Structures are given as C-alpha cells and as structure tokens.
Amino acid sequence: MPHIPVLLPESVKLLLEAPSLADGGVVVDATFGGGGHSRALLQEGTEKTTVIAIDRDPAAVSRARSLLSEFPSRFRLLTGNYADLSHLLIGIGIERIDGLLLDIGLSSFQLEDEERGFSFQSDGPLDMRMDPAVGQPAAEIVNRADVRTLTRIFRNFGEEPYAAAIARRIVRQRREAPLRTTRELAVLVEEMVPAHKTFRRHPATRVFQALRIVVNDELGALAKVLERGLEGLNPGGRMVVIAYHSLEDRIVKQFFRQAARGCVCPPKIPVCVCGRRPRVRLLKGRGQRPSDAEIARNPRSRSAVLRAVEVL
C-alpha cells in the first residue's frame, strides 16, 4: 500500500504561509518518505519556492524520480540524516531556509517491506536500520545486550511495563539460539505480555518501537535537527513537526516551549536582567491532531500530533 501523507493540507498551509516565503524561498522536507508532502509543497508553492527533500533511507530517495523530472528547477533531493541538516544544506550552497518539515518516524513503504525488519506483523530479518549502511541491526542488540540494558531500552524508549520480564525471556531464549527474525521476537514478547493488556495494540508494539529508536538514534537525531533547524530558519520562517508517539512529541513540545519563552527573571525583580528573548512564536500551542475523518481514512494517522513555530 502506498504511504498516505498525514495532516497534509494543514502542514503545507502552515509552511507556505510563512511570512519569509512571501517573495519565494526554500522549504526543506527533511523526511521525504513517499514524497507526499514534497509533492504538495511543489504543487501549491509558487514558482519561486524551492523544495529540498532529505531522507536517510536510500529506498525513499529512489522514489523521487518523477518529482525530479516534473519540477527540475524547483526540487532537490539529498540522501542523509537530518541530524546533519546544516552540513547537508551547506553542501549544496544553502545557508538559510524559510520552512522545515519533519514528519518523523517510518513510512508505510518501510513498515511493509518485511526485509527491513520493522514490522512484528511479518517475518523478516531483525534489522530496523533506516539506512541499511549505517549502525548495527536490531539483532545485534537483541542478541548481545545484557538483561539490564535490554530492560532499560524497552522501558525508556518503549514505555513497556513488562520490560524486565521480556528482557529476561530474550536472554534465556538466546542461550539456545540467537534470535534472527521479527516473528521470533514478536512471539517471545507475546508470551510475556498478559492477554488482557493487549486490547488496543499488538503486544510487541512497544518493544519494536524501542529497538527502532535505539538502532537509528531517533531521539538524538530529533534533538539535533530541532536546534539546527531553528538556527537555519530566516525570521518569519516556520518549522512544522509531526510526531507519532509521546517520547518524540514531548521532545518537540518542550523544545518549542523553551524557544518561545522570554524573560525568566523571578517576578520579584522589577526590570529584566536575564535579557532572554523568545526565539519563536508558537502557532499550534496545544498541538493539532488529525480529524476523525482523516483517522477513518488513514488509521496510521491516529497517533499523530502536529506542532509548529514561526521564527521571530
């Protein structure tokens, strides 16, 4: 199934209405995926709007061919990690941008390709690397980390209540034979999570999420791109982030709130001495969620939260 873009009109409108884009400029789609957002930005932006797309997954980049031929002068595509945003852009001579979109997480293409090892619903190698040439596959962690490390990973990055029991079970199992496939891991996790706790989600959801986050250093990359993005945006430029789970959304929310904060002097002090000025204006203070109609059309969107800021 193709990837259905999430919160598409909302995010594109926010980006294209950025004051600094009024006379044209550069919008970066740092999570190209299936190209849904890039396409809409190109179609709805003016002739003076250039879109630069980035994805760390070489398979995503290979899907960009038709956009490259339809918009040869307004579309560029880079392969790389958005954590390296500034370097990637400087590499093509761009220092300032007017919009940045982060639609984080996985595309349906990645989830549905069983060879990539992201899905507990199919059987593939335990890999989970977004860029198969970078980092260690999930199997390395699952078969080598000790019980304490595995517990910490499942607890911290999956918020898994049965983290320790699952970790112990994995270590016991691998004494017989290493875990090699997504199905083997999913079955083990299913055994350890009581059936009545799996009402809404597959029992392996949290463990797979945790491993994926660690394999790809997803939270580290997110923290970096938020800061680099803010530094690179022109005044009046906008950043829009769509997150799909609470760990990511918390990082985005706190980062935006901090950036929007002005003076932090205690209320007793009559005149500001800290000199701190807000760097951004919050555009969606409480975050925007997909409508019921969008969730019905695309159930994958149900956990999405969009947050956006404008640089002052």
Ligand X SMILES: C[S@@+](CC[C@H](N)C(=O)[O-])C[C@H]1O[C@@H](n2cnc3c(N)ncnc32)[C@H](O)[C@@H]1O
Question: Applying CB under 6 A, which residues contact ligand X?
Answer: 3, 5, 30-31, 33-37, 54-57, 60, 81-83, 103-107, 130, 221
Residue 249: in which H helix or E strand, if any? helix 246-260
Q: Which one, 132 or 236, has the nearer CB to ligand X?
A: 132
Distance in Å, CB of 29 to ligand X, minimum: 7
Task: Count Cβ atoms within 10 A of the Cβ of residue 174 and give its class: 0-12 exposed, 13-18 middle, 19 or more buried.
Answer: middle
Q: Which one, 35 or 203, has the nearer CB to ligand X?
A: 35
Distance in Å, CB of 119 to ligand X, minimum: 14
Distance in Å, CB of 280 to ligand X, minimum: 22
CB 60 within 8 A of CB 109: yes
Q: Which one, 60 or 211, has the nearer CB to ligand X?
A: 60
Measure the CA angle with vertex 117, ends 111 and 119; round to 5°: 45
Distance in Å, CB of 175 to ligand X, minimum: 34
Number of H helices, E strands in the chain: 14, 7
Measured distance CA(173)–CA(129) in Å, rounded = 23
Task: Count Cβ atoms within 10 A of the Cβ of residue 169 and give its class: 0-12 exposed, 13-18 middle, 19 or more buried.
Answer: middle
Distance in Å, CB of 9 to ligand X, minimum: 12
Spacing of C-alpha 88 from chain mean position: 18
Distance in Å, CB of 169 to ligand X, minimum: 30
Q: Which one, 162 or 255, has the nearer CB to ligand X?
A: 255
CB 179 within 8 A of CB 220: no
- Output the residue with the shortest Cβ distance to ligand X: 33
Q: Which one, 221 or 259, has the nearer CB to ligand X?
A: 221
**SS3 assignment, position 307:** strand
Q: Which of 235, 279, 243 is nearest to 260 (CA)?
A: 279
Distance in Å, CB of 173 to ligand X, minimum: 30
Q: Which one, 183 or 212, has the nearer CB to ligand X?
A: 212
Distance in Å, CB of 57 to ligand X, minimum: 4
Task: Count Cβ atoms within 10 A of the Cβ of residue 125 and give its class: 0-12 exposed, 13-18 middle, 19 or more buried.
Answer: middle
Q: Which one, 4 or 265, has the nearer CB to ligand X?
A: 4
User: Phi/psi of residue 28, each to 5°?
Assistant: -105, 125
Q: Which one, 6 or 192, has the nearer CB to ligand X?
A: 6
